[in-house]
Every structure is written in C-alpha cells, then in structure tokens.
Structure 1
C-alpha cells in the first residue's frame, strides 16, 4: 500500500507492527513540520548564518471533523539511519554491552494522523481540506492553548512525536522543537542540510547554562512566530523531558507568556536553581526513585527551596510526583516503541535498562491525564488541580512527595 505524505510516496509496512496507535483521546490529531528562520539572530553556535529551527506542530481536530487518517513516517530514512548509529552506541553503553538496539526499527515506524478534515470557508460553508497529511493550509479560527515540548539533551524532537500526539489529542496545540548544534541530528528538508549536535559539552556547567539560554531564546522566537504577544492573555505551558525540563524552567523565568512549566525526570540547571519560578506553577514528575529525597538529586531540592523561599513563597505552587515502574527513557516515545515493535518487550535487557516495566500505553495514559490537568490548572481554565490534588485510585503508579 502506498500513501502520499510530506511530498513523497512511501511504502507502508505489510503489517501493523511499528505503527503508533492513534491515542484514545477526545480529539484526533494532525501533524505539520515547519522550518523557521530568526532573521534577527545569528546562530549562537555558528555565526555564519541566522538561527534556523525545525519544529513539529501537533493540532487537535474534532473527531466529527476528521474525514480520514493516514500513516506518515515517524522520521525520514536519513535521520533514522543517523539516529540508529547513535542508539547502537547508547544502548550498548547503558546495558554495559548486554544488548543492542534493533537496527531498522526507527525507519520502519509510522504514525497515524488526521490528514483530511472539514473546515469552514469565509462564508462559513464546510469545505474539504484534503492535504498531504501534515495539515498544511488550515488556520485555526481561535488560538488554542499551546504546549511547548522540549527534548532531552542531544535528543531529536522527533523522539517526542508520539508523546506530543497524545497530549494534543486532549485539545492542545503541541510544539516540539529541535535546537541545532545541540540536538543530535536536525534535517532541514528545504535544502537538505543536516546539522549534527554535540556542540555543548555535557561535562561543562558553563556550556550547559549557555545551552539553556539558547533554548530560552529559541522558545521566545517560536512564541513570537506563533503570534503570542506580551501583555496579552497568553495560553502557553512549557513541558520538557530531561534537560528539556530545566530548559522549560529557564524559559519560563525569562518569558512572562509562559504560564507554567513541567520537568519530566530531568536535573535542574541554571539561574532557576537560585531564583525559582514562583508564583507561576511548576510540576516535577520523576521516574521511579528520582525525586528530591534521592541523595544524588541535589538540584531538585535546591530548586524547590528557592521557589518556596522567594517573596511569593506562600503562593508558590510546586508539586513533585513519581511514576512507579518507569525509567528515565520511559517518559517519552521509547515506551511506545517497546509496545509496537515486535520483540522489544521480550528483550529483558532493554526492559531493564531502557524501557522500564510499565507499558508504554499506560505511560501515555498517565502523562496525558496528569499533564492535561496541569495545563488546565496553570492556565486558569479549571477551578481545581484535578489529579494533581493528591493520590488517585485510578493511577496508583503515581506517588506524591
């Protein structure tokens, strides 16, 4: 079977293996990949050209308005090959040589998205928007609550596409971002340029803080491009995994348009360790055993104390939760990969060192429910904290500290 997606024709896999299931959410989701150029800023890692970004935009579509879905490649063949070279090394390292990444899994993975929807023309008549599967051409009539989703250090935004789809299905526009020269592989389809990452030294604190400030500037540019203006009633929350969680806090502290932030299992870095982020709300969600009580996790304790001791301390909303059965890499698309790719869950070493015991479907259910409740609370769209008020019988895997 052939489908047209993103301007190219792709042969679908013979079976459903490797296809991310459409999330059971109130909305279906369409996907768009965009190149953005900040003509007012030279690239901080390469002053020979303006800063250029790749983002993915996941937008909710009311189920009655989605007339058809199609499968699109999870990532291009070129990026998949480069990423699997890196995964070979990484999985070998974290498993201490006990296992390997299954070569070809990325190139054979697909996402199911809405690619045909009913829209309205200027006369409020229904029209068919039969585009290429990436949602080109549709402009929402009302700005949706927006979630900026930051990737881990030296990690492509594409590894968060499934997670973003689950969250967008709850009714939010979700933007995942690459950060060239830091993100490990960034491909610009317009001219075929590929920029490899690794520029910031992870062992150099100053380099990491510089990278955080670059990410904050990238987030500010993305919000400017999306039409979020200062001093307006903005509806933006910044969520990040790993290093992206620290970047969410730094961007939030630097930009009043961001109403709240979430760190998914990442240590904190930068100025927020001493300033905190109060009075805007912040959530720390850690994998099993990763919390402020962990002897080695001093950054969370410092961030929590700084947030609560500021002048806004009595008004600070900061909560910390743990997800049982999870590992660091459970909290993004690798948990979905483990579910949909034959043989991965059967590999005990991959489960032990990479995926965690909790199923990807359950991770996604927990993330979309808890994160959507946080978004509603942070944006003042709900009158309470929802699931974040305390322990829930529906989700015994979540514990509050």
Structure 2
C-alpha cells in the first residue's frame, strides 16, 4: 500500500473482539528507516515558573507539552502503540480544527489513528542528535507525527513541541487554575492579520524552544523534568546528544525555528517549512519588518522549503529575499511541486484519504495540501528534511 493510502478498520473492545468501525480510520504512513519497527515515544509535561502564560492572564506559569520519539532498545510487553491524539484532544480537534481546515464533520473516527511508536519503551542508550519540531500556527504537535517517526526511525531523537494557547488543542496530565484539562487555541483567524498576536506567537515559541532545550539538558544529566513526576523511559536521558541539536518547523514554526537558531548557539541547523521571515507592522500600509535572522544572515545551515501552491507565496518570497540577499553558503532552498501549505505535516497523507473516501471535496483537499499525490509528497518531504539533517547532524550509529 502506498504512503498516504488508508481504509476504514474496526476497533477492538476490551476482550479483543472486533467492533464495527465508527467512521473512516485514517492511517499515518509508516516510517522507513532501520529503526522503523522499534520506535519509542513518551510525553513530557514541562513547566517554566519564570514566565507567565502570554495568552491567558489567569495562568501564572508557562506550561509546555512535548512528545519525544526515539530509537528503542525493544518494544515488547507493556509498551502499546500510541494513538496520534489523546482522547481529550480529539474532542477539541473535532470542534476547532475540523472547521478551520474544512475537514469532514462526520464519517471519520479521528481518535482511532495510531502512530508507529510504542509508549514508554526503553530507549537504546546511544547518544543521538536531537531535533525539535514546532508546528504551524494554531496546529498541535500531533500533526507532525509522520516526519517525527521517520526521523526517529533513522536514528534521531525527535521532540515535538506544543505551544499552549497557540496550538489547536493541548491536553495536560494535571489540573491548573486558569484552564481546563484540554486547552484550545485562542486564535480566531490568521494571526498575521493581528500584528501583536503574530509577534507574541513567535516570541513565545522561541522562548518555549529554548526552555525545552534546558529541560532536555536536565534529563540528560539524570534528572526527571516532568512536572507531574511521571516516570521517564529507561535510557532516554543517555540517548540525548545536546551538542548536536537541530530544529525544524512548519509555517509559524518555520519562522520560530530560523529565529531560534539566530538567538541560541545550541542550535546547529534549522529547517523552515514555509514560514515567513518578517513580522507585520502595526501601521497600516507599512512594509513588514524582517526578523533579525533575515537582516543579519545565518552562519549555520538553514533549509528553506516551500510549496508551489501556497496562496501567500509572493509575500513569503519577499520575506525570504532579505535573508537570501545576505549571501553565504549556509542556505539551501527547495520546493514541493504541486503541494500546498499543509503538505508539510500529516495532512499531506490524511487529506487524500478523506478525498478518496468521498468525505472531502477535491477543492478542499487541494487548498490544504495541493494536487500532489501522497505517494510522491510524503517521501519527498521526509527525504529533504532527513537529507539536510543527515548532512549537518549525522547519526553515528545508523541502526542495525
């Protein structure tokens, strides 16, 4: 079966007998690297007590949720395959993301999609490069699962980061004053149309990424950074080589990835998946202001990856032009022909399944991910991102 294809499947009850499907069960394309059959995953709840939440006045600290994907020592006994989304997140996804992206309101069992990673499996205690992923504005970390699993299958530790208040839906393991168990996005439209909101989003994401790196350093030093005190998989801290750190992000995440590398020397390479490199002005009619990374240029590797059918492609090119004018040999560019803006995350594989099942019209699928088939786009995105990091942050143990 080619990447991105899927079919409705039955779920199972507690006795293990098949149940009738409650809707189309979408499939994430499988990873292809040497660790594809033994990927582990765990969630960490991280709390930065030095910052207040920027989106909700009633939350006195900054909370961040991450998922860590990694090559596992073994995945047998007691380490079930993880769902793409938690139960609480699925309910908010149905209420928020479905409307935003013109997804079908009925006929899909959004909670039934499984990953290829095993919850809590012991990590192979080999030092590996660490890659952080920051999703698009209003998107949750779960939509970067496919690429995260592919990179983990090729020997990387991949940390996908949720930015609460910005992300579509984030479920927390513990209660806290000022929010419910699942926190929805505050966005009601394109943040670039609200300059203060866009600036806050990018600044917060950069601070979140730097905080996550601090917490990973604590984990590598043998401490448990999970603020709920939940156990960390065996060997995970010993799998982190924080001398080799990269970051990749989609849309607003691409903006944050590039600027975070500019601000934090711990980051050795970055991938910007169709993120603007300027911030809109508060003054109507005034040109957007380039971010420092665009004005100064880069002294470490940066990949700029765009799509052919992005409606804001002209504005994107203008925002990238300032950086490209700086010259130097650290920047690489590429493009997904036939792709649209969300071809870079899991929608690239999922939207065509919805169209194929008659649940999503062609125009909605094309607006989301373009006309390119997932059998082409999924391997292409994975290859371009992996090739870039393999060149600049190579895995010394390529798997067995």
TM-score category, normalised to shorter length: 0.7 to 0.9
Per the alignment, residue 364 of structure 1 pairs with 378
Aligned pair in 2 of structure 1 residues 70, 319: CA closer, same or farther (>3 Å)?
Answer: same
1:185 matched to which residue of 2? 169
Q: What does residue 272 of structure 1 align with? A: 292
Identify if the C-alpha distance between structure 1 residues 60 and 324 changes in structure 2 by more than 3 Å, giving closer, same or farther.
same
Deviation at 1:346, TM superposition (A): 7.3
Q: Counterpart in 2 of 1:240?
A: 249
- Determine which of 203, 211, 226 is the counterpart of 1:213: 203
Conserved? CA contact 1:150–1:177, under 8 Å: yes
Q: CA deviation at 1:286?
A: 0.6
Give the match's secondary structure for 1:227.
helix
1:176 aligns with 2:132: no
Alignment of 1:286-365 (within 5 A): 286-289=306-309, 294=314, 297-306=317-326, 308=327, 313=328, 316-341=329-354, 343=357, 347-365=361-379
| Whole-angstrom CA distance in 1 between matches of 2:182 and 2:360 | 34
> Structure 1 residues 213, 156: CA separation in 2 closer, same or farther (over 3 Å shift)?
same
Partner of 1:52: 63
Matched, 1:151 2:159: no
Provide the C-alpha distance between the structure 2 equivalents of 1:112 and 1:291, rounded to a whole number of angstroms. 31
- SS at structure 1 position matched to 2:357: coil
Looking at structure 1, the residues matched to 145 and 94 of structure 2 have their Cα atoms a distance apart, in angstroms, of 17
SS at match of 1:113: strand
Q: How many residues align?
A: 341
Structure 1 139/41 Cα, relative in aligned 2: closer, same or farther at 3 Å?
farther
- 1:12-23 to 2 correspondences below 5 Å: 17-23=25-31
TM-score, normalising length: structure 1: 0.74
Q: Choose 202-211 or 47-56, whichever is displaced more.
A: 202-211
**How far apart are the structure 2 equivalents of 1:381 and 1:73?**
27
Deviating more after overlay: 346-355 vs 257-266: 346-355
Inter-CA distance 337–106: structure 2 relative to 1 (3 Å threshold): farther
Contact 2:40/2:75 (<8 A) preserved = no
Cα displacement (A) at 1:167: 2.1
Of the three residues 251, 255, 258, the one matched with 2:260 is: 251
Q: Is the 8 A contact 1:292 1:301 kept in 2?
A: no
Gap regions ≥5 residues in structure 1: 93-99, 116-133, 383-401
Please give the alpha-carbon distance, in whole angstroms, between the structure 2 residues aligned to 1:73 and 1:343: 22
Separation in 1, partners of 2:146, 2:20: 18
Q: What secondary structure sits across from 2:30 in the alignment? A: coil
For structure 2, list consecutive stretches of 5 or more residues without a partner in the other structure.
1-10, 221-240, 280-290
Counterpart contact for 2:69–2:158, Cα < 8 Å? yes
Q: Which has the higher strand share?
A: 1
